[in-house]
Amino acid sequence: MLTRLDMAITIPGSPQDMPTTAPRYVGKEVKRIEDPALVTGTAEFIDNFALPGMAHAAILRSPHPHAKILRVDTSAAEQMPGVVAVLTGADIKRWCNVGTTAPEGWGSTPMAVDKVRFVGEPVAAVAATSRYVAEDALELIEVEYESLPTVRNPQDAVAADAPLIFDNQPSNVIQDRTYTWGEVDQVFDDADHVYTEKFRWNRVGANPMETFGCICHWDVVNNSLTCYGSYQTPSFIALGRAASLNLPSNRVRVVSHPHGGSFGGKGGPRGTDIAALLSRKANGKPVKYIEDRVEYLLAGAGQSWDRYYQASLAVTADGKLTGFKVDLVDDQGAGAEGYGTISAAKPLAAFTGCYTIEAAQYHMKLVATNRAPTYAYRGYGPPPHNVVLESMVDIAARDLGMDPVDIRRRNYIQPDQFPYTIPSGNEYDSGSYAAVLDKVINMSEYQAMRQQQREAREQGRLLGIGVVNTVEPGVFDWNAYSTVGVPGVGVPEGVKVAIDILGHITVTLGFTLEGQGQYTLAAQLVADYFGVEMDSVRVTYASTDVAPPHFGHGGSRLGVALSGAIMGACKKIEEKFRLVVAGLMQCEPDHVELMDGHMRVQGMPGAEMPVAQVAGTMLGRSDLLPPGMEPSPEATYVWTADDRNEPDDQGRCKSYLTAANACHIALVEVDRDTGITQILKYFIVDDCGTRLNPANVEGQIQGSVAQGVGAVLYEEYVYSEADGQPLVSLFSDYLLPGIHEVPMTEKAFIETPSPVAPLGAKGCGEGAIHTTPATIVCAVNDAIAHLGVQTRETPISPNRLWKLLQDVVEEN
């Protein structure tokens, strides 16, 4: 039985001589330790949680996209029985700061002060004995507005006479920057062909089963705040609340509850600040706020990627891709409070995809409008970028008479070129892109599908095949985002591992359950390291005031970062055990090894102690320990990726640690009469390095396929072109794919272990959403290209596609 894993691990200061016995748990599909609480209903989601004497909050929101607030009269609401506190902009002015943004200066307070900037912005809030009373009290609040001209879209935003959304700024342009990598102009001048096209990605976003919720308790005696809620990154929430609410950082405690997904879509700062200030105004009574679905769809943290693209691709006559230009205008909505700017910067990490494109340029213009602010969403920016890049590759292939498979294979980064630095400066760690392509080609019987397509076309049917490959950057660093105002190098993830006197092990993390199965991974790693059963390992969560430094969920990073942190902590404990056993066995510490759940003296059969006995000795017989040793069989380790660097003046830096790769093939059929796209077959081969828990990887891939299908075919936050009013407030307006729309994919994989990440794993949490939208776009265009039309806008809704096909009919 293995105690330490047989795969390479990089921990600062540790040797690389690992045993070669196969692991018992890591790399295997095991029963998830998170599931019993979920299937029995005992997982404590925030809406199941209550505090004694708790009040309930409701928020009054603006019906206007842009207006001055002339008067707010809350007197009637304050007198209503059951109301314990009413919060207005006057309280915000007295108690609250403007939220931090990236870049600085483009944020607002959690509740509107003086003017509103988007429909749904909070204007007042009530805490009462029940949510019903609070909602009724909202109707008694009178607000007088003076309408201002609405900035409906980026074209309005940059107009010479555009009204300012933020009066402290000279314009509505948040950032306007061009990154140039290589001799771009020369490459395009030398190209045999230059293809240019425009694309439109309409706003979509995360829609988890559970909306945001929190309970805030302001201790007026100690001037401290405790927040319970569905927080994805609790440490950041805690720091943000300290800054926003004028509290010392060590006076804010955040307790994250298990939550029904997030995908970046549960921002929480506004709702938390409002609930916290209501608690303060109510003399310390805890206040609960649960965002309803209408609030979430209207103005929650679930909207992302409102983009206008123009792209150009330089290609030689024989299909070599040499240059790539992207001009992006990104509608950030009413400011940069949700760090949506980061999503526009993340494509730098894989700007040229899987290809050896030598020169590239990225013009990124971020603008503010009177739409809801944009936030993070799974993938955080590359999915729309990949639609543009892969569509341009197909455009070139079609014009050159090449198969889309052949043009991609011709331009791949080769295995012997890794580690490979792309023009934008990021370094890919490893990969075998042609092997991934070959495997999915064989699995899908690609040539047979092409024959099926030809036969269908003879019958007048529109079948299309999409072949797309992408890179999924994993384990991010802040250095990539300094270009949009988030400076820093290193994103830590810490854990504490402790062994008790009976040999049972507890792992303490800084994040709670969100569905990905990382608690199971933690148990697998620790059980294998110390040679115990997984049942002997308990994984638990610590609130922000006592947790080790951590970031938590997000960014395709946690499996890698968590592995590094756990292995580092276990290594520290092993070193302690080695000293203890060396003292007891009268030998040198270097002669003691951890193997099969025992500390053994090399070359001396029988000279060994079980791990539990060593821990028991430390805790129960401290008199036997080496002089000066602390009797503590536990350790905390905080991991961050090595070898990061600050960006240069063009944003070039090593911004992500790993580069996973996937190739998807989809067969779709477009109905001429309805514009409905049906996915007939879908194949995936991925390479995320060492698969630490194959079941977790499979779940991540299938779930992100569903989100990718929704984004490309159905989902859209629609705003009125006339007055900028949002037209989505219910799921009847915002279409999500169901079980019949999402294909059950056929999957396979290869492994090229990362040489730089713990255990060779690569990030895989964002998964197929990087690839699925581009695959379906390319498949639809392959189905209709012979008609002389192409779709360049998402979602490819039935109505949008039907109109495109009707134009063809009319022209013919």
Q: Which domains does the chain have, with CATH numbers?
A: 35-42+492-639 (3.30.365.10), 46-148+214-259+267-299 (3.90.1170.50), 381-477+652-811 (3.30.365.10)
Quick one: tokens of 602?
Answer: 């090399």
Cβ(411)–Cβ(357) below 8 Å: yes
Helix crossing, 558-585 with 518-530: angle to 10°?
Answer: 20
Residue 6 confidence class, pLDDT cut points 50, 70, 90 = very low
pLDDT at 411 over 50: yes
pLDDT at 693 over 80: yes
pLDDT for residue 599: 96
Q: Write the CB contacts of 760 (distance below 8 Å, at least 6 apart in sequence).
A: 7, 8, 689, 690, 751, 753, 754
Quick one: tokens of 223?
Answer: 């001037």
Residue 16 confidence class, pLDDT cut points 50, 70, 90 = very low
pLDDT for residue 302: 86
Cβ(537)–Cβ(568) below 8 Å: no
Helix (H) or strand (E) holding 143: strand 142-147
The pLDDT tens digits for 99-128 are: 888 899 999 999 999 999 999 999 999 999
Spatial separation of the C-alpha atoms in residues 661 and 654, rounded to whole Å = 18
Spatial separation of the C-alpha atoms in residues 441 and 580, rounded to whole Å = 56
Phi/psi at 727 (nearest 5 deg)? -110, 10
Residue 163 confidence class, pLDDT cut points 50, 70, 90 = very high
pLDDT for residue 23: 82
Average pLDDT of span 483-488 = 85
pLDDT at 810 over 80: no
What ranges make up the beta strands (E) of 491-586? 493-499, 505-509, 537-541
Spatial separation of the C-alpha atoms in residues 153 and 178, rounded to whole Å = 21
pLDDT for residue 811: 55
DSSP 262: -
Buried b (16+ CB within 10 A) or exposed e, 360-385: bbbebbbbbbbbbbbbbbbbbbbbbb
pLDDT at 717 over 80: yes
Cβ(319)–Cβ(334) below 8 Å: no
pLDDT for residue 12: 34
pLDDT for residue 13: 32
Q: Write the CB contacts of 554 (distance below 8 Å, at least 6 apart in sequence).
A: 232, 233, 264, 376, 765
DSSP states along 496-523: EEEE-TTS-EEEEES----SS-HHHHHH
Q: What is the pTM of this model?
A: 0.95
pLDDT for residue 809: 62
Residue type, 285: K
The pLDDT tens digits for 358-389 are: 999 999 999 999 999 999 999 999 999 999 99
For the ranges 17-26, 55-64, 675-684, the lowest mean pLDDT is seen at 17-26
The pLDDT tens digits for 30-54 are: 999 999 999 999 999 999 999 999 9
Quick one: tokens of 570?
Answer: 């276990």
The pLDDT tens digits for 518-538 are: 999 999 999 999 999 999 999
| Number of residues in the chain | 812
In 3D space, the residue among 635, 569, 568, 583 whose CA is nearest the CA of residue 614 turns out to be 583
pLDDT for residue 219: 97
The pLDDT tens digits for 233-282 are: 999 999 999 999 999 999 999 999 999 888 888 888 999 999 999 999 99
Residue 10 confidence class, pLDDT cut points 50, 70, 90 = very low
pLDDT for residue 22: 62
Average pLDDT of span 799-812 = 81
- Of the two residues 811 and 717, the one the predictor is more confident about is 717
